[in-house]
Amino acid sequence: MTPPAISRYPVPALADLPEDIRARILAVQEKAGFIPNVFITLAHRPAEFRAFFAYHDALMEKESGLSKAEREMIVVATSGANDCLYCIVAHGAILRIYAKNPLVADQVAVNHRKADITPRQRAMLDFAMKVAVDSPSITDLDFAALAAHGFFAEDAWDIGAIAAFFALSNRMANLIAMRPNEEFFLMGRVPRVK
């Protein structure tokens, strides 16, 4: 049986990719043990690939007032609002690992108001969701609500920019029908036995 397509578009062979992109993908594969489909499917368009991951890294890898787990919460919550299967499943896996919590990703994807998170994280996700689904209504009050939890201007940019970047990412994944790797579904759900 042929495996299901991971994209509506042709998926390049690693060997055919520009050197920098192949190197990036091999590095991810080395670390994760498999190639997440977002890499190989977006590699269909090298220039867009480079910009996409440069943007991703600028937001998700930088020093920030937000922990890596908190950033993934933003991804998962807003991807839930946008009904993006790839991002919910793949970033849900990453969130479970960063947060060392097998439950929080499903909670946040469905309804962040009832997730096992702190009130500060709830305020963070309220702001992110407003950027994701109703950005014209953002006013000073939304920034004030963040500040009441110790999130100041640069944090607000971080939160909003992650929500904005995944507005793009979710639409690309839905456009090309990007399929999540099977590995992600289980990752971080089972305590590793030493």
What Å distances lie between residue 69 and 51, 63, 122, 166, CA to CA? 23, 13, 13, 16
Asked whether position 145 contacts its own copies by CB under 8 A, the answer is no
Asked whether position 68 contacts its own copies by CB under 8 A, the answer is no
Asked whether position 35 contacts its own copies by CB under 8 A, the answer is no
Concatenated DSSP letters of 108-128: HHH-GGGSS--HHHHHHHHHH
Task: Please identify which residue in 43, 74, 146, 164 interacts with its own copies, judged by CB under 8 A.
Answer: 164
Asked whether position 175 contacts its own copies by CB under 8 A, the answer is yes
Beta strands in 72-151 (DSSP E): none
Q: Which stretch binds its own copies (CB under 8 A): 21-29, 32-40, 68-76, 153-161?
A: 153-161
Closest CA to 6 of 38, 28, 31, 34: 38
- Binding-residue total with its own copies (CB under 8 A): 63
For its own copies, give the closer residue by CB, 25 or 170. Answer: 170
Residues 140, 153 contacting (CB under 8 angstroms): no
User: What is the nearest approach in angstroms of its own copies to the Cβ of residue 75?
Assistant: 13
Q: Which stretch binds its own copies (CB under 8 A): 19-27, 28-36, 69-77, 107-115?
A: 107-115
C-alpha–C-alpha distance, residues 30 and 62, integer Å:
21
Closest CA to 161 of 169, 171, 150: 169
Q: Based on C-alpha coordinates, what's the Rg of the chain?
A: 17
User: What is the nearest approach in angstroms of its own copies to the Cβ of residue 15?
Assistant: 22
Q: Which residues form the interface with its own copies (CB under 8 A)?
A: 4, 8-9, 44-45, 47-48, 50-52, 54-55, 57-59, 62, 80, 82-85, 88-89, 102-103, 106-107, 110-111, 113-114, 116, 131-132, 135-139, 143, 153, 156-157, 160-161, 163-165, 167-172, 174-177, 182, 185-186, 189-190
